[in-house]
Amino acid sequence: MKNVRKVSSETPLLELTLRKYERPQARKERDLVKKLCLSLGVLQPGDSRDVIVDVLHVLFKQRKKKQLMSIEDIEKKIVINRKLHKLQLQGIAPSNIRRQIKRLRNLMLVEKVKSRYRISEFLGVSEIFSEKIEKFLLQGVLQRIKEYLSAADEVFSKKQ
């Protein structure tokens, strides 16, 4: 019989990437949303596959109207948005759009209500960031890192 040891998983429970860029300038809506996506880590610098920018942009525009959107409505608006900005229609497959929405849901920026989507509670994104990301997600990550730091202090401060 083999001696089986349990190895802790190296799969993170949550991954949060934040980036600091220059202060926002008066810019076009889509450019602003792209910088926001880069800042929140849902888009990688230099990534040409940026349909997540269009997903968030479309949902921001609907927030003003306080309307929920079906996945089909989001897909149609994304095609219009990408054509308007003279962008290639890459990454607009329904499966990819659903995946991008899920990423935004995991970050708590977007929520699903009866198979329709909206910016969380139609709130402003600065309020969402403060309430959900900063106070909930980030605090949890920081607390866990502090636990690892304390454990490292404890283990490595013992005399050998």
> 């109207």: which residue's tokens?
65
pLDDT digits (tens, 9 = 90+) for 114-157: 999 999 999 999 999 999 999 988 999 999 999 999 999 999 98
Where residue 10 falls among pLDDT bands split at 50, 70, 90?
A: confident
Q: What 3-state DSSP class applies to 116? A: strand
What gap in Å lies between CA 50 and CA 3, rounded to an integer?
48
Q: Domain 29-121 has what CATH class? A: mainly alpha
Note the pTM of the prediction, 2 decimals: 0.83
Domain boundaries in the chain?
Answer: 29-121, 123-160
Sign of torsion over alpha carbons 9, 11, 13, 14? positive
Amino acid symbol at 66: K
Q: Which residue in 46, 2, 8, 45 sits closest to 151, CA to CA?
A: 8
Q: Does position 1 have pLDDT exceeding 60, yes or no?
A: no
Report the run of H or E that residue 144 belongs to, with start and end.
Answer: helix 139-156
Where residue 56 falls among pLDDT bands split at 50, 70, 90?
A: very high
Residue 14's pLDDT is: 83
